[in-house]
Amino acid sequence: MSRSLETMLDATLDMRQQRWLQHQAAQTHAQQVIDAAHAKLECEQIRFHTEVRSLIRQGIERANRHLIKRPEHCEFHDVSGYYAGSMYVGGSTCNPIAYQLRTDGAAVGEALLVELTHAGTVEASLSLLPPSGHDAQMPRIEFGWHPVRLESFTAATAAHLVVAYVAAITKRWSLGRYIPSDPAASVATGDAAGVSSSRG
């Protein structure tokens, strides 16, 4: 027995209403997922710029207190202001943290660039300072640092990062003056034997 026209019209209109309600529910759920992702990202960015930055700064300050006692005359300088925004596609989610090693006031090699990725990891690489501070295509140089989950970044992680950066720079560049342990050799070679801030 065939259904009446009225019954078919009712079924069609009721189905349309049901589809509309399902569509609205799907949109609401999608927006909730997006809002949750944005909230998570915002929390990660805050944590990166407070906890991670603080841990790295503490490691840098500790390193500088030690380096000032050494003959290389080197120290770390915060150059984060040279970098703004996401520095490469698919990479960082916010302004990176950046430090550069200097000896006798002159820059030595590339800067240390520490970034928070969309995957929630802290990555580090070497990078030249951008000439304008807004170059989004600055090349990265890997130096053996393995990404660390944001929540796993500790003071020990920051210390290891500082040491790894110094090791990478000293492999690529000459650092400071050579000061021999034998005073007689110092007189023989003179201060001219030292090399500062030149390519290795």
Q: What is the pLDDT of residues 88-144, one digit of tens each?
A: 445 556 889 999 999 988 899 999 999 998 889 999 999 887 755 454 556 788 999
**Cα distance between residue 136 and residue 99, in whole Å:** 18
25 in any annotated domain: no
161 in any annotated domain: yes
The least confident of 9-18, 27-36, 82-91, 134-143 is: 82-91
19 in any annotated domain: no
10 in any annotated domain: no
133 in any annotated domain: yes
126 in any annotated domain: yes
Quote the pLDDT of residue 5. Answer: 85
**Cα distance between residue 20 and residue 22, in whole Å:** 5
Say what the pTM is. Answer: 0.70
The domain in which residue 150 lies consists of 31-193
9 in any annotated domain: no
The percentage of the chain sitting over the pLDDT mark of 70, rounded to a whole number, equals 78
17 in any annotated domain: no
Among residues 80, 55, 82, 78, which one has the least CA distance to residue 155? Answer: 55
State how many domains the chain has.
Answer: 1
